[in-house]
Amino acid sequence: MMGGTRWSLGRNPIARLGLLAAVLALSIGAARAVYIGPREREAGALEARAAGLSAKLEDLQRGIGDLAAWSSAHPGAIAGAPRSRLAPPARVLVSEFLTALEPVAARHGIVTESIEPIGHAAEEVVPDATGAPVRLVRQSLRFRVRGTYRDIAEYVSDVDAMGALVVTRSVALGFNGGSYPALGAEVRFDLYGTP
């Protein structure tokens, strides 16, 4: 107490203003920590995801353009008429296929990273061109290859066009932004031979 006056928060405008400023600063800090901070982190994560999706979309658009160019250069190649194929003996099925595949891969610049058999060879009864049942041995192989989209498409098309009885069951492309335009692919071929 100075000279009979009391210093109280209720009557001192400077002290009230200081208290209001402190409460305001504390409220702003709490609102930023509780509401704004998490929203900014979420927005950053969404922007990063959008950039990743944008890169994938650009790659798909390039792939569609490559596919359209390839289709115009090879009219009717995909929807070709059925061809008669020969089934080699099962004992030489894989070795003959790999020997025939080597120049196809070299022609298209395909790098084979690995080849794995899927299961064991299995006998199947399938109809031939006339509908009569025929016994065949099926061996499935999984190839991991690397090449451009166009090269992989032409490689698979040429394998399907081989004289041997080979069926492409699946092609799974993998995108790696650092190695573009080269893509990784996992291709499953089913080889058929006579028992």
- Model confidence pLDDT, tens digit, residues 83-115: 556 777 878 888 888 888 899 999 999 988 999
Residue 48 has pLDDT above 50, yes or no: yes
Contact predicate 152/175, CB 8 Å:
no
Cα–Cα distances in Å, from 139 out to 121, 130, 136, 163?
5, 24, 10, 17
CA distances from 117 to 20, 94, 158 (A): 76, 10, 21
Contacts of 94 (CB under 8 A, 6+ apart): 117, 139, 141, 191
Instruction: Answer yes or no: pTM beyond 0.85.
Output: no
pLDDT-derived band of residue 64, with 50, 70 and 90 as boundaries? confident
Confidence of residue 195 (pLDDT cuts 50, 70, 90): confident
pLDDT in tens, 66-86: 877 777 776 655 433 345 567
Q: How far apart are CA 183 and CA 172, in angstroms?
A: 10
For the chain, give the mean pLDDT: 81
Structure confidence at residue 178 (pLDDT): 66
In this predicted structure, what is the pLDDT of residue 63? 80
Residues with Cβ within 8 Å of residue 89, at least 6 apart in sequence = 193, 194
Cβ–Cβ under 8 Å, residues 111 and 133: no
Lowest mean pLDDT among 31-35, 102-106, 190-194: 31-35
